[in-house]
Amino acid sequence: MSDVSNTTENGILSLTKGIARPALVSAVFFMVVAGIAYPLVTTGVANILFPDQAQGSLIVRDGQTVGSRLIGQYFARPEYFHGRPSVTAGADPNDPSKSIDQPYNAGASAASNQGATSKKLLDAVNERARAYREENGLAPDAPVPVDAVTASGSGLDPHISVANARLQAARVARVRGLPPATVLALVNDHTSGPQIGALGDPRVNVLELNLALDAATTARPAAQ
Amino acid sequence: MEHDLTQFALILAIMAGLVFVLGKWMTHLFVSPAHNIIERGTYRLLGVDPAEKMSWKRYGMVLLLSNAAMMLLGYLLLRVQQYIPGDALERASQSPHLAFNTAASFITNTNWQSYSGETSLSNFSQMAVITFLMTVSAATGVAAAGGFIRGLSRKSAADIGNYWVDFTRVIFRLLLPICFVLALVYVWQGIPQTLNAEAIANTLEGARQQLIVGPVASLETIKHIGTNGGGFFAMNSAHPFENPTPLTNTLHILSMLLIPSALTYTFGSMIARRRQGWAFFAAFLVMFLGFLALVYSAERAGNPMFASAGVDQAQTQLQAGGNMEGKELRFGIAQTSLFVTTTTAATTGSVDAMHSSLTPLGGLVPIAEMMLNNVFGGDGVGLINLVTYAILTVFLVGMMIGRTPEFLGKKVEAREMKFVMLAVLAHPFSILGFTALACLTPSTLASLANMGPHGFSEVLYAYTSGTANNGSAFAGLNANTPFFNTTIGLAMLIGRYLTLLPMLAVAGVMAAKTTVPEGPGTLSTSTPLFTGLLVFVVIIVGGLTFLPALALGPIVEHLLMLSGTTF
């Protein structure tokens, strides 16, 4: 193998000869190119072409930012459609050193990470299914859509399944005093099919649906 | 079901089409003698001679030392983060063991994250540390593959090319142009790209919602094109800001497979044996489809334990159904299964669903793919790993038929087999050794989120992910402890450099050999028979090595789930 080892006969010194300076310069240079120039140029161009999306697809109502089209938010009141369970947590407002449940905390995305045989997971699913049936006036043995009782990966899932939305429609219509057909029509309007006809599954954007409900309800709920 | 299969077929067909385009482009990149003006400027700035012919040792040394300098720079920036002005949220610097883990993780293309993006990194760090290290680690892998293939394609040569040229070209001609265009598509679909740190919303129910934003799109592109995988946000590509639509999910999947699959074409082109490239592509694809079928059927079937709660997991017109814990509705089972299979095949490690909440057999797939480490594999290293196994296959078959093994017209002899075996053994040694060490360490129990076999899987997954330079996790494990940060950091370095450097050595040794004419006894390595043998060897070696560990984790968990046992 003498033909290959010509360069190595002088040992490690000749191998590393002249590398130290280029190695250090390359670290700084490519940090500037890939870590600063590339993201900054992208930011500049993106904000000219798509200023709305670049800032987070925010929804403004009556001059106030009410959320992002892409990020789910927590709905507990009966007059709104509810999103999927979320296990995100946040700092306790009374004691910031403690962490408490805070569903749809977009400052700290989180999932349960519980495995299929986890007792905690099964207990939680049982409890959510019970609460879902009670809230929506379903029979105690009525099947519940899986997305309504399982926590999403991000804790910020903006969508629910069409099956889930339809089961909640009766409750929402009753509390709001709207005809069920109106509410179901709104659900249909806010159902997206597969993207470009092939990708993903049908889904309903909960925040957009609830905004449409508010717009359709002449007398908004008192808290608004 | 039909809709799901259509999606698989569509996406994989596009992937195969891109193999031609990008494969040709990368061949040109590695063989073209001309340097463009930006590249010439770069060489002058670095003070290197682009005409220098490097032996494999010199090539490997430059790779190692430049990576070390970049890792050090990343480490320092993370340690001083809080003193760099401009972060509205004033996020603190990382601790020494965490910064070591992060820098090691990103320079080795692993992207294991012991931290949570939104609470611990400023926008400056997300760009100047994370995006930077993602780019250079991917370029390192692709450059190494270039040097490796060049070595195999030469005869009686003393050099395998010039590392600086390969590295610089990969960044300027391949990674940055693709990433820039793709980032704009991502922003169009809704991924934020801004220097602001947050947006505050008042929700419909009157709560305050803090939306973390930043330069996400520019990170997201290189994250997948570079088979990196580390998320801007804690929940990675499950977070709607990292992956807002099924289209972005599809583009993520295609991005991850782009370079690893196209390198098979580049390989075939550069060694002037196109069929050899396709034989390797076929080997990748066969294993990939097998794993995809397993994870898809397991997740589609759902969790049998949910039945008693009256949960409807069936797929209908109105819902995607399946095991939805830890998954996002916009992706459903099909898009999620394809992503799971891809991210650990291409050793990216980003996740669009929580792997820890997959069904046991669904969760076995990512672990097994990382253990094999060459179902497509990461940028550059995947192909190198497959060639490692191809040489092993030639050797085993040669032993069986009693002939001197040959690969690409060259004799395979004792010296290169020793390097091959070093690369093959470093991988399980690191995974199983560190897992055993962690299991014997009493403090490990405190880090587990799940008990029973799933807890063992969490630990096994962590070291497999680190060694395979994947970076995904059974994220129930709290790995931000000095023990885990240090040992996983070491696993990542071993997994990267103890497989890469021996294979550069093989390339160097092979380059120096003369070719022998093919005879009637030569085993052709570009036939379907050889592809079959190769897959067989990969699975047998992987199976013999890892099956006992898998049996203690996902396999026993699957059996316990069927019998209704909970933990």
pLDDT-derived band at A218, boundaries 50, 70, 90: low
Query: Is ipTM over 0.90?
Result: yes
Name which of B517, B459, B446 is nearest B487 in CA terms: B459
Show residues of chain A in contact with B454, CB under 8 Å.
115, 117-118
How many angstroms separate the CA atoms of B387 and B385, rounded?
5
How many angstroms separate the CA atoms of B226 and B109, rounded?
8
Among the residue ranges A212-221, B248-257, B400-409, the one predicted with the least confidence is A212-221
Residue predicted with more confidence, A3 or B32: B32
Report yes or no: B167 and B69 within 8 Å, Cβ to Cβ. Answer: no
CA distance B162 to chain A (A): 13
Query: Model confidence over B191-207: pLDDT tens digits?
Result: 999 999 999 999 999 99
B50 and A CB contact within 8 Å: no
Write the burial class of residue A97 (CB in 10 Å: 0-12 exposed, 13-18 middle, 19+ buried).
Answer: exposed
Residue B399's pLDDT is 87
The residue of chain A with its CA nearest to that of B3 is A198
- Nearest CB to A112 within list B233, B357, B359: B357
- Nearest CB to A147 within list B184, B319, B512: B319
Q: Which amino acid is at B435?
A: T
Query: Model confidence over A133-182: pLDDT tens digits?
Result: 999 999 999 999 999 999 999 999 999 999 999 999 999 999 999 999 99
pLDDT-derived band at B401, boundaries 50, 70, 90: confident
pLDDT > 90: what percent of chain A?
79
Q: Which amino acid is at B106?
A: F
Strands A144-145 and B311-312: parallel
DSSP-derived secondary structure for A85-99:
----EEEETTEEEEE
Residue A7's pLDDT is 44
Averaged pLDDT of chain B? 93
Residue B518's pLDDT is 82
Is B79 a residue whose pLDDT tops 70? yes
Residue A10's pLDDT is 57
Report yes or no: B343 and A168 within 8 Å, Cβ to Cβ. Answer: no
Averaged pLDDT of chain A? 90
Q: Which two tokens stand for residue B494?
A: 């071993």
R_g of chain A computed on alpha carbons: 26
Among the residue ranges A94-108, B46-60, B189-203, the one predicted with the least confidence is A94-108
Assessment of whether the complete model's pTM goes beyond 0.90: yes
B window 344-373, beta carbon within 8 A of A: 351-354, 356-360, 363
Report yes or no: B311 and A146 within 8 Å, Cβ to Cβ. Answer: yes
Q: What is the DSSP letter of B311?
A: E
Interface test with A, best of B193, B561, B563 (most A CBs within 10 A): B193
Residue B378's pLDDT is 86
The stretch B247-262 carries a mean pLDDT of: 96
| Tokens 């899986």 belong to residue | A146
Strands (DSSP E) found in chain A: 58-61, 64-68, 89-92, 95-101, 144-145, 159-160, 191-192, 203-205
Please report the number of interchain residue pairs, chain A to chain B, with beta-carbon separation below 8 angstroms: 434
Show residues of chain A in contact with B175, CB under 8 Å.
34
Query: Model confidence over A68-102: pLDDT tens digits?
Result: 999 999 999 999 999 999 999 998 888 888 889 99
Q: Which residues pair with A92 in a beta bridge?
A: A95
Is A6 a residue whose pLDDT tops 70? no
Residues near B151 by beta carbon (within 8 Å), at least 6 away in sequence? B56, B157, B160, B504, B506, B507, B508, B510, B511
The stretch B436-445 carries a mean pLDDT of: 92
Residue B214's pLDDT is 95
What is the per-residue burial (b if ≥16 Cβ within 10 Å, else e) of B471-499? bbbbbbbebbbeebbebbbbbbbbbbbbb
Cβ contact, residue pair B357, A115, below 8 Å: yes
Counting DSSP H helices and E strands in chain B, the numbers are: 21, 5
How many angstroms separate the CA atoms of B257 and B378, rounded?
9
Show residues of chain B in contact with A58, CB under 8 Å.
199, 201, 211
How many angstroms separate the CA atoms of A93 and B145, rounded?
53
Cβ contact, residue pair B332, A201, below 8 Å: yes
Among the residue ranges A151-155, A157-161, A195-199, B176-180, the one predicted with the least confidence is A195-199
Q: Which helix (H) or strand (E) holds B35?
A: none
Query: Model confidence over B321-376: pLDDT tens digits?
Result: 999 999 999 999 999 999 999 999 988 889 999 999 999 999 999 999 999 988 88
Cβ contact, residue pair B311, A57, below 8 Å: no
pLDDT-derived band at A223, boundaries 50, 70, 90: very low
Name which of B31, A50, B492 is nearest B484 in CA terms: B492
Query: Model confidence over A155-168: pLDDT tens digits?
Result: 999 999 999 999 99
B6 and A CB contact within 8 Å: yes
Is A219 a residue whose pLDDT tops 70? no
Write the burial class of residue B450 (CB in 10 Å: 0-12 exposed, 13-18 middle, 19+ buried).
Answer: buried
Residue A79's pLDDT is 95
Residue A81's pLDDT is 97
Q: Is A145 helix (H, G, I), strand (E, B) or coil?
A: strand
The stretch B139-157 carries a mean pLDDT of: 93
B516 and A CB contact within 8 Å: no
CA distance A130 to chain B (A): 8
The residue of chain B with its CA nearest to that of A213 is B204
Query: Model confidence over B276-317: pLDDT tens digits?
Result: 999 999 999 999 999 999 999 999 999 999 998 999 999 998
